Chains A and B, each alone.
Chain A
């Protein structure tokens, strides 16, 4: 059995530095290690791996992450 790998998508991730409190929840939730922490704030490190699953946007308690899936727009 082969695992179906979710297709890579054309996405844009916007992180508001002013609102991010560095709680690490987004980094913890991301299944593809797209996000990392840098100087206490979340940062996009590997945008190409993002599948727009929206887990980070759904669970960011501070409304600091916006994931735009361009294929849906």
Chain B
């Protein structure tokens, strides 16, 4: 057994998430990762935006900040600039980070600021009513796409990688241990770290698209998961509909807050 209680606000339980939602599995993995690294509770600041995933900050007993839709990354940047010693963890969803806050997301990655972003990708805006999100696969139904989504999807991990993030990984809730390991590595990395957690939404996405209950969707994630090492040898046609999991990039390069500190030090020396 693992004692989660010391990291949680037990009085807020049971969780608001629907039966079969995978967000609770990500929460568990996150708590275990923080425990594994032996980080003190007071030195963690969790920032979230709006959405199902972002409700997570209400359940954890760290410094928490529940902000406006899509702006979690901006608040987190402010926290990190003012308090560089804090481990700033951003909790966000696919719609929150890549649509409403798409600009903030790519620029946080470009700056390579020391944030750990846990991005829950469930292919839909769950809480706000099942609207189509930038990751809703082509042809899938949503409340704002009654004839099926007609657009191509964002590759969230690829986007962060291209923008300049120093750690990018994707895991799915069917493997809680892998998720825990990636989150631990992301927290340890100095720079912009993204962990894309694939999670099922049985209510807003699964029901409308007849994908079954949450447990069926987790089984599907398990079937579709392809390790990155194997995916490299596969053709784009073979990878159609698959979920590539693994660490895509893990290399340190100059980090925003440290570069800023260098400027502060330079001017203080000149004074």
Residues of A within 8 A of B15 (CB): 19, 61-63
Is A8 engaged at the interface, CB distance under 8 Å to the other chain?
Answer: no
Residues of A within 8 Å of B, CB-based: how many?
Answer: 20
Contact in complex: A58, B177 (CB < 8 Å): yes
- Chain A contact residues: helix, strand, loop or mixed: loop
Contact in complex: B177, A22 (CB < 8 Å): no
Interface members, chain A 1-41 (any B CB < 8 Å)? 18-19, 21-25, 28
Residues of A within 8 A of B173 (CB): 59
A62 partner, pick from B1, B24, B176, B177, beta carbons under 8 A: B24
Is A66 engaged at the interface, CB distance under 8 Å to the other chain?
Answer: yes
What string of 1s and 0s marks CB contacts (under 8 Å) between B194-206 and chain A?
0000000000000
Contact in complex: A61, B22 (CB < 8 Å): yes
Contact in complex: B19, A63 (CB < 8 Å): no
The chain B residue with its CB closest to the CB of A21 is B19
Shortest C-beta distance, B86 to chain A (Å), equals: 26
Given A23-B213, A23-B215, A67-B1, are A61 and B17 neighbors across the interface (CB < 8 Å)? yes
A68 to B2, alpha carbons, bound, how many Å? 9
Is B78 engaged at the interface, CB distance under 8 Å to the other chain?
Answer: no
Shortest C-beta distance, B220 to chain A (Å), equals: 12
Contact in complex: A19, B14 (CB < 8 Å): yes
Given A23-B20, A25-B20, A63-B4, are A58 and B14 neighbors across the interface (CB < 8 Å)? no
Contact in complex: B176, A18 (CB < 8 Å): no
Residues of B within 8 A of A54 (CB): 1
Interface members, chain B 1-59 (any A CB < 8 Å)? 1-2, 4, 8, 13-15, 17-25, 27-28
